[in-house]
Amino acid sequence: KLLQVCRLCCSLTGICYSPINLKVCGRFIDRIVLHVRDPRGALLSWAHHVNRLQKLHPNGIESTIHPIPDDFPSWPLSDQLDWHIEHHLVSLVGWLRQWLAVSQAQSPIRILWTSHEELANNERALFDKIINFFEVPMDRVDFQTPEKTMEVHYRSGEINEWSVVFSMNQKARCADIIGKDLLERFNWPSG
């Protein structure tokens, strides 16, 4: 339950990297999985998710740290992406940079970094890696691949879908925000 709370805090607010929260979490857990995705792919997925939420809740959506403008649903996707780049992408990169700082500092919590690419390329291998990290005996695992449907927020899962959707200007802006160091660190394409 605490791990779910930590994951929720991290994904919605990015606060779990603070020293006090790490100290509190360190009293209850000794390891955590940080699953990362190229921020451009995460941004595109988020843009579609926000649009889907807006259709489901036209009177306003909650649970986002960047409230969208009132007329946002009427904007073309390209303009929506520009807005997300300036707001959501900046938050994603900040979250990632702060977790990198945590992983390089002395932390009571061991961190296993996993990636969307691992998930997309070999789901079972990724879950085996996580299971081994948590030292769960394999005979206690019943691996069942979930259906990939919108009921579980599965839209496409394409690794580099952003590269065919984003304009050249959007690609350049994203690369500037992400930074060459992160692109190289995670072996993400430069644009």
Question: What count of other Cβ atoms lies within 10 Å of the Cβ of residue 50?
Answer: 20
Distance CA 155, CA 90 (A): 23
pLDDT reported for residue 15: 43
Give the type of residue at 123.
E
pLDDT reported for residue 115: 93
Distance CA 5, CA 3 (A): 5
Helices marked H in 57-179: 77-84, 90-104, 116-121, 123-133, 162-165, 168-178
Task: Give the pLDDT of the chain (191 residues) as one tens digit per residue.
Answer: 334 434 434 443 344 556 677 777 778 888 889 999 999 999 998 888 888 877 777 666 655 677 888 888 899 999 999 999 999 999 999 989 988 888 887 777 888 999 999 988 998 999 999 999 999 888 888 877 777 665 555 556 678 899 999 999 999 999 999 999 999 999 999 87
Distance CA 29, CA 109 (A): 7
CA 84 to chain centre: 14
